[in-house]
C-alpha cells in the first residue's frame, strides 16, 4: 500500500492557558504525509506552524492542551505516556530547529552528542555508536568526520553546526524529519548547501520531510506539496506547482505576490495590509477577513472549511470560485488595485 499516508494528522487542536486567557494556537489542522514526500508548511509568525509540529513530536509544555489525532504508520501518538512517546521521538520522527548556533550543547563534543542520540534508541556499545555517528557526519558533508567528532560545537561555523544537527536527527533513521525554519538563520549560500544536503539524504534514505518556513523560495525547489497556514488553521493545501500556478485563497495570493522577482522589478511589492490576528480574542468568521480584499459579509460570520478546489487542491475560502474565475486574480493585492 504505497499510497498509505506515513504521517496522518486529523483535527489537531492545541491550546495554552495563560494569564491573559486561553491561546488557541492550532484550531483544527489536518494533513497527510506520504513516504518519501516533502511537505512544505508556510505562514506568518504565529500562524501555528511550529506549534503543530511540536505537538506531533510531543514537545509542548505540560500545560498545553492537545486534542485530535496524529498517527505515524498507523499508530496513534496523541495521548501516549511520556515514556512511550520518547521511543517515537528521535527514532520514528525527528525534528530540527531554527538557530544552529544554540541548538547544540556547548559543553559536550559533537561526537558525544551524536552517540547519545544513537544510544538512546539502540542498545549498542559506545564504540559502535561512535562509528555510526562518524558515518552520518560524513553523510551530511562534514570533512574529516573522525577528527571533527572530537570537536566542540563552538569550533564549527553556523552552517556546519546545522549539518551536525541534521546528522543527529537522521542518525536513527527516522521515517519523518521535521525541519522548523532550518535555513532562516543562515546565509543564502549556506542555505543552498543545507537544502542540497536535505535532497541528498532524501534520495539515499527515502525520508519524508516536513519543511516549515516563511520563505517560499526555499520550498520552490524542494517541496512536493504545500500547506498554507493562517491563524491556527490550514488555509490552502495542494501540490506545490498547483498552488503556485493557481492559488485559490486570497492569502496565498498575497504571499506569492510579496516575493520580489522579475515581474516586480520597478514596481512596489504587493503587501497584505494589517497584522495577524490575536489568538486569544478571536472574532467570528474567517480570520483573514479584515485584511482580505475579496471579503463579503458571509466571511465575517462563518469560518470557511476546507473544500476540494479540483485536482486534489484544498482551500478554505468562501470566495475561492470568484478568485479562480478572475483573470486578474494575482493582482488583488497590488497597490494599483482597490
Partner 1 sequence: MTDTIDSVHEAEFAVEVRAQWRTILRRFVRHRLAMVSLVILTLIFVLSIFGKYIWTYTYLERDKGALSQAPSWEHPFGTDSLGKDMLALTLRGSQRSILIALMVSVIATSIGVTLGAISGYFRGAVDSVIMRLTDLLLTIPLLVIAGCLAWQLDGGGSWWFLSIILGVFSWQGTARIVRGEFLSLREKEFVEAARAVGVGDRRIIFRHILPNALGPIIVSATLAIGGAILVETALSYLGLGVKSPDSSLGLLVSEYQAAFQTRPWLFWFPGLFIVVICLCVNFIGDGLRDAFDPKQMRVRA
Partner 2 sequence: MLAFIVRRLLIAIPVLLLASVLTFFLVVNSGDPLEGLRQKPGISQQVIRAEEIRLGLDKPFVPRYLDWAGNFFTGDMGTDIRNKPVWPELWSAIKYTMRLVLIAELLAFSVGLMIGIVSGVRQYSGFDYSATFISFLFFSLPVFWFANLLKVFGAIEFNDWLENPSVSILFAVVLTAFIGGSFYLIGRKRERLRLAQPGARYKWGGIALGVTGLVMLSAVFFFEGRKYDRFVKTIGSEPRELAETFGERLWSYVGHGLLPVIVLFTVSYAGYSRFMRASMLEQLNADHVRTARAKGISETRVIVRHAFRNALIPIATVATLSWGALIAGAVITERVFAWNGMGDFFLDSLSNPSPDPNRLLAFVMVTATFTIIFNIVADIIYAILDPRIRM
Per CB under 8 A, residues contacting partner 2 are 57, 59, 62, 81-82, 86-91, 94-97, 99, 102-107, 116-117, 120-121, 152, 154-155, 165, 168-169
Comparison of 77 and 316: residue with beta carbon closer to partner 2: 77
Beta-carbon neighbour count of residue 122 at 10 Å?
Answer: 14
User: What does the per-residue mask of binding to partner 1 show for 14-43, with x meaning CB under 8 A?
Assistant: --xxxx------------------------
Beta-carbon neighbour count of residue 308 at 10 Å?
Answer: 10
Interatomic CA distance for residues 215 and 55, integer angstroms: 22
Interatomic CA distance for residues 338 and 332, integer angstroms: 8
Using CB distances below 5 to 8 A depending on partner kind, what does residue 167 bind out of partner 2, partner 1, none?
A: none
Interatomic CA distance for residues 168 and 170, integer angstroms: 6
| Distance of closest approach, residue 334 Cβ to partner 1, in angstroms | 31
Which helix H or strand E contains 160, and what residues bound it?
Answer: helix 158-170
| Distance of closest approach, residue 112 Cβ to partner 2, in angstroms | 10
Decide: is 45 part of the binding site for partner 1 (CB under 8 A).
no
Using CB distances below 5 to 8 A depending on partner kind, what does residue 106 bind out of partner 1, partner 2, none?
A: partner 2
Comparison of 97 and 136: residue with beta carbon closer to partner 2: 97
Decide: is 87 part of the binding site for partner 1 (CB under 8 A).
no
Q: Assign 3-state DSSP to the chain and report helix, strand, coil percentages, each to 5.
A: 35, 20, 40
The C-alpha cell 486529523 sits at 10
Grid cell listed for 303: 469560518
Q: How many residues does the chain have?
A: 338
| Distance of closest approach, residue 121 Cβ to partner 2, in angstroms | 6
Residues that bind partner 1 in the complex, under the rule CB under 8 A: 16-19, 61-63
Amino acid at each position: 500500500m504505497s499510497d498509505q499516508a506515513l504521517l496522518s494528522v486529523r483535527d489537531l487542536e492545541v491550546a495554552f492557558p495563560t494569564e491573559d486567557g486561553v491561546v488557541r494556537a492550532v484550531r483544527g489542522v489536518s494533513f497527510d504525509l506520504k513516504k518519501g514526500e516533502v511537505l512544505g508548511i508556510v505562514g506568518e509568525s504565529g500562524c501555528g506552524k511550529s506549534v503543530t509540529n511540536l505537538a506531533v513530536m510531543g514537545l509542548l509544555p505540560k500545560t498545553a492542551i492537545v486534542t485530535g489525532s496524529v498517527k505515524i504508520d498507523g499508530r496513534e501518538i496523541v495521548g501516549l505516556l511520556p515514556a512511550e512517546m520518547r521511543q517515537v521521538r528521535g527514532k520514528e520522527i525527528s525534528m530540527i530547529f531554527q538557530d544552529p548556533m544554540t541548538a547544540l550543547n556547548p559543553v559536550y563534543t559533537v561526537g558525544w552528542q551524536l552517540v547519545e542520540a544513537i544510544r538512546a534508541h539502540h542498545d549498542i556499545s559506545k564504540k559502535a555508536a561512535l562509528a555510526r555517528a562518524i558515518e552520518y557526519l560524513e553523510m551530511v558533508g562534514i570533512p574529516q568526520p573522525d577528527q571533527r567528532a572530537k570537536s566542540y560545537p563552538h569550533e564549527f561555523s553556523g552552517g556546519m553546526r546545522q549539518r551536525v544537527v541534521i546528522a543527529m536527527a537522521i542518525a536513527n533513521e527516522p521515517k519523518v524529519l521535521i525541519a522548523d525554519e532550518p535555513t532562516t538563520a543562515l546565509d543564502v549560500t549556506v542555505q543552498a548547501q543545507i537544502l542540497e544536503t536535505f535532497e541528498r539524504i532524501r534520495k539515499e534514505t527515502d525520508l519524508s520531510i516536513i519543511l516549515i518556513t516563511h520563505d517560499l523560495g526555499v520550498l520552490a525547489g524542494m517541496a512536493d506539496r504545500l500547506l498554507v497556514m493562517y491563524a491556527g488553521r490550514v488555509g490552502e493545501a495542494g501540490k506545490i506547482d498547483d498552488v503556485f500556478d493557481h492559488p485559490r485563497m486570497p492569502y496565498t495570493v498575497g504571499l506569492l505576490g510579496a516575493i520580489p522577482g522579475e515581474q516586480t522589478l520597478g514596481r512596489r511589492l504587493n503587501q497584505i495590509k494589517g497584522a495577524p490576528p490575536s489568538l486569544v480574542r478571536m472574532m467570528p468568521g474567517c480570520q483573514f477577513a479584515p485584511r482580505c480584499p475579496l471579503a463579503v459579509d458571509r466571511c465575517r460570520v462563518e469560518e470557511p472549511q476546507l473544500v476540494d478546489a479540483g485536482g486534489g487542491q484544498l482551500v478554505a475560502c468562501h470566495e475561492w470560485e470568484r478568485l479562480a474565475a478572475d483573470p486578474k486574480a494575482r493582482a488583488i493585492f497590488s497597490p494599483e488595485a482597490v
